[in-house]
Amino acid sequence: MKAPVLGSLFGRKDAAAPPEVAAAALRSDRFRLEREQDWSRLEAMLGRIEKGRLRGLSDADVMALPALYRTAASSLAVARETSLDAATLAYLEALVQRAWFQIYGPREGALAWLRRFLGGDLSRAVREVWLDSCIALFVMVMGTLAGWMLVARDQEWYFSLVPAQFADTRVPGASREALLETLRVEETTGGLTAFAAQLFQNNAGVAILAFALGFAFGLPTLMLLVHNMAVLGAMLWLYHEAGLLLPFLAWLGVHGTTELLAILLAGAAGLHIGRRMAFPGRRSVLAAAADAGRRGAQVMAGVVLMLVLAALLEAFPRQLAGTEARAIIGLFMLAMWLAYFYAFRGRHRSGAA
Amino acid sequence: MSVAVIDRRCREVVTPEGVVLGFRIASRSARAGALILDFALLFITALAGTLLLLFMASGLPAQLETSVSGAGEFLFVVWTLFWFFLWNGYFIVMELGPRGATFGKRAVGIRVAARAADSRGGERLTAEAVLARNLLRDIELFLPLVLLMVAPSGESGPAGWAALLWFLVFLLFPFFNRDALRAGDLVAGTWVVEAPRARLAEALSTQGAMRDHASTLTGAAYRFGEAELSVYGEYELQTLERVLRENRAEAMAAVHQAICRRIGWEPGAGDERAFLEAFYAQLRARLEGGMRFGKRKKDKHDGG
């Protein structure tokens, strides 16, 4: 903590030697010369804050900032009515604007934001999109069923639904052994970290896309969800036919509960925006969209975190653990997420005070 | 405000203190320029990072094809995450900073701000808003550009064309609204405004002929009467201010001539600056005197 003396020294040093106030012939110039030092002090402080060097400011400066801002703002109001000096007016407009951005800007650091975010904001945002989550869940279940039933009726559907990268050995008519081989346990961790990083990048991309598409009144988001889940439904049918449904579910569930929930939430956040824009209620469409968009962004930040976890789960426990361990981890993660989102109330927004 | 022409990009925001702040919406070309700068910067950084990692990888001992070495895998993970966080994180982190702008936006002098709601005053820019506006970039920029390349080839058929039209709506969104909002701005409740950084210019009336209306060169005093000062208004005064601040001899001579013609004086030569300074100081004193009584004269055509 610095002594206040330093602050005043600093203030004096930065201000240029003022011209004599009485030397000015015009009243409006005298007004300006009398206040000029406060303005330059504010400007010097703003320069430091904008460079992110808040620590360079003394306590006295930090205390003086709001007062200096108000002085400059009232100078601007007076100058607009009494001065015709365009250069001074432009300077004051810019100065007050800059000060306003700092005083009413985002002042909390990344850590404070993260604490507030994990400590309640995230779960509140998730609860607020409950209706959209229900819609997304319904659509996803329907998509899975549709995939299953389509393939059950006509196996040709399998090839048009499932992208080529999954349809390697996992095709209709494959032997039980071949399918079991795809669920096997790896012996080493070699290559798995790289696998996790790639999975995360891919899934986060899909989730962001699902969210962004919600802006178009939510319809493309629904289509994306239906399509992805139909693939899942088709593969479920395939393993069911081979009598491997449970091992497959465990293999999928270890990370799938986290990942599918994340994709569900991303879709729900997108839908939320689309729904609010289509039915804004009493507010303007713009205000409704902005409100829903900020809430959606909070959910999306959570989704990215979930996907990081999902990728780690997918790379390690899924490849290394057996069926029971996979199922237990998957169910545990699901229970944990549900508890965190829907039972954890956190602190209220005003609770910090 | 100071200029007689109504600026279509000006927006007024009332702060909680009741001060009216004027914001200018950033022009679309400035924003496009900022985006190009940012992408150039990102591209160079990504390339440099990739080359650095490749260089490090080349130093690793040669491996058998089948096994993946721990160090090589680690480098690959670093590269994947570096890529993801560079392209997704750069805009968010920079716009959350105190300047509210990426390097590209800073270079062209614009920043992100929370859009003022109709009824309320200006608002804080929040982390959520910055996140939201940047998460939509994919559908606004990359998908339309990809489709622009894919659709005309005919590979994707009519669905490709339909998708292209659909995404063009997002790409061209800023051109169809007054505030030049892109889709991300709309969803986040933000807008992009100019962030002027003006320097405080010298006070004019402390020097030369402003003070005592007399030339330091010739000693001649310039005094103007009521009739001579009443021909001009604020617009002309501020034009004259600009000429005096720029201090270019030809411009001052031309303005000197024009004023003399207008007020019916015989234009001399050699002492233009003193004449203009005296005229400026007296015109400004007269107009500012009028302002204090609520009388304003916009320009020479204004009767007031």
pLDDT of residue A15: 44
Highest-confidence segment of A300-314, B30-44, B110-124, B132-146 = B30-44
What pLDDT, on the 0 to 100 scale, is given for residue B158? 76
The closest CB to that of B186, out of A86, A94, A289, belongs to: A289
Tally the domains of chain B: 3
Structure-block tokens of residue B176: 């169809």
pLDDT confidence tier of residue B29, bands split at 50, 70 and 90: very high
pLDDT (0 to 100) of residue B110: 92
- Who wins on pLDDT, B301 or B186? B186
Alpha-carbon dihedral angle through residues B288, B289, B294, B299, given to the nearest 10 degrees: -50
The reply to whether B299 falls in a domain is: no
Q: Which two tokens stand for residue B217?
A: 């060169």
pLDDT at B2 over 50: no
Q: What is the pLDDT of residue A192?
A: 66
Spatial contact of B146 and B115, defined as CB atoms under 8 Å apart: no
User: Parallel, antiparallel, or unpaired: how do β-strands B110-114 and B20-24 relate?
Assistant: unpaired
- Asked if A242 contacts A176 with a C-beta cutoff of 8 angstroms, the reply is yes
B52 shares its domain with B156: no
Please check whether residue B159 touches A, CB under 8 A: no
Clarify whether residues B228 and B257 are in a common domain. yes
- Residue range B24-50: mean pLDDT, rounded: 92
Considering the domain boundaries, does residue B3 fall inside one?
Answer: yes
| B 71-110 → A contacts, CB under 8 A | 73-74, 76-77, 80-81, 83-84, 88, 96-100
Which residues are registered as beta bridge partners of A162? none
> pLDDT above 70 covers what percent of chain A?
81
List, in order, residues 6 or more apart from B71 with CB less than 8 Å away: B60
**Alpha-carbon torsion, ordered A168, A263, A136, A223, to 10 deg:** -50
Residue B2 lies in a domain: yes
Q: Do A97 and B205 touch (CB under 8 A)?
A: no
| Residue at B72 is within a domain | yes
A213-233 pLDDT per residue, tens: 777 667 777 888 888 888 888
Inter-axis angle of helices A192-213 and B70-96, nearest 10: 30
B contacts of A209 (beta carbons < 8 Å)? 138-139
Q: Are residues B131 and B144 located together in one domain of the fold? A: no
Tell me, yes or no, whether B156 and B54 share the same domain.
no
Over residues A161-189, the mean pLDDT reads 71
pLDDT at residue A351 tops 50: no
In a domain, B15, yes or no: yes
Would you state the pLDDT for residue B80? 83
B132 and B76 inside one domain: yes
Confidence of residue A273 (pLDDT cuts 50, 70, 90): confident
Between A319 and B82, the more confident residue is B82
Asked if residue B303 is part of any domain, the answer here is no
Range of the domain at B32: 1-136+182-197
Q: Say yes or no for a CB contact (<8 Å) between A208 and B138.
A: yes
The complex's ipTM?
A: 0.82
Nearest CA among A113, A76, A87, A42 for reference residue B15: A76
pLDDT value for B35: 92
In a domain, B248, yes or no: yes
Closest CA to A169 of A112, A242, A88: A242
Give the model's confidence band at B77: pLDDT under 50 very low, under 70 low, under 90 confident, else very high: confident
pLDDT (average), residues B170-184: 86
Mean of the pLDDT values across residues A125-148?
Answer: 90
Q: Looking at the structure, tell me whether residues B241 and B143 fall in a common domain.
A: no
User: Which residues of B fall within a CB distance of 8 Å from A298?
Assistant: 128, 131
Instruction: Tell me what pLDDT residue B46 has.
Output: 92
Query: What local confidence, expressed as pLDDT, does residue A330 receive?
Result: 85
- Are B1 and B115 within one domain? yes
CB atoms within 10 A of CB A350: 6
Contact B15 A73 (CB under 8 A): yes
A47-57 pLDDT, tens digit per residue, is 888 887 666 77
- Residue numbers in A near B136 (CB within 8 A): 212, 215
Indicate the range of A78-82, A89-93, B152-156 predicted with least confidence: B152-156
Most confident of A108-122, A179-193, B42-56, B155-169: B42-56
Same domain, B41 and B157: no
Measured between CB atoms, which of A52, A74, A198 is closest to B97? A52
Contact B81 A197 (CB under 8 A): yes
CB contact under 8 A, B77 and A194: yes
User: B28-31: long-range contacts at Cβ-Cβ below 8 A with a sequence spacing of 24 or more?
Assistant: B28/B174, B28/B175, B28/B180, B30/B108, B30/B109, B30/B110, B30/B194, B31/B105, B31/B108, B31/B110, B31/B174, B31/B180, B31/B192
Do residue B116 and residue B151 come from a single domain? no
Please, where are the H alpha helices in A104-170?
Answer: 110-116, 122-128, 130-153, 156-161
What's residue A346's pLDDT? Answer: 67
pLDDT of residue A6: 42
Q: Which of B136, B170, B211 best probes binding to A when mutated, by most A CB atoms within 10 angstroms?
A: B136
Cβ-Cβ contacts under 8 Å, A90 against chain B: 2, 196, 198
- The answer to whether the CB atoms of B139 and A101 lie below 8 A apart is no
pLDDT of residue A4: 42
Q: CA A14 to CA A35: how far, in whole Å?
A: 15
Residues B102 and B187 occupy one common structural domain: yes
Between positions 106 and 135 of B, the ones with CB within 8 A of A are: 111, 113, 115, 117-118, 122-133, 135
Does the model's pTM come out above 0.80? no
pLDDT of A313 > 60? The answer is yes
Q: Cβ distance A38 to A71 under 8 Å?
A: yes
**Residue A14: pLDDT band by 50, 70, 90 thresholds?**
very low
Shared-domain flag, residues B25 and B89: yes
Nearest to B84 among A76, A204, A291 (CB): A204
Q: Which residues contact A287 (CB under 8 A, 6 or more apart)?
A: A280, B117, B118, B189
Closest partner CB to A23 (pick from B70, B113, B206): B206
Record: contact B195-A93, CB cut-off 8 A: no
For B202: left if phi > 0, alpha if psi spans -120 to 50, otherwise beta; the answer is beta
Distance (Å, whole) CA A150 – CA A154: 6
Phi, psi of A316 (to 5 degrees): -100, -70
B204, B288: one domain: yes
Mark yes or no for CB contact A273/B188 under 8 Å: no
- On the question of pLDDT at B66 being above 50, the answer is no
Distance CA B278, CA B282 (A): 6
Measured distance CA(B173)–CA(A232) in Å, rounded: 35
φ, ψ (nearest 5 deg) of residue B70 = -60, -45
Whether residue B297 lies inside any domain: the answer is: no
d(CA A226, CA A97): 48
Nearest to A294 among B19, B126, B137 (CB): B126
Which phi and psi (to 5°) does residue B20 adopt?
Answer: -85, 115
In whole numbers, what is the pLDDT of chain A averaged over residues? 79
The whole-angstrom separation of Cα B190 and Cα B15 is: 16
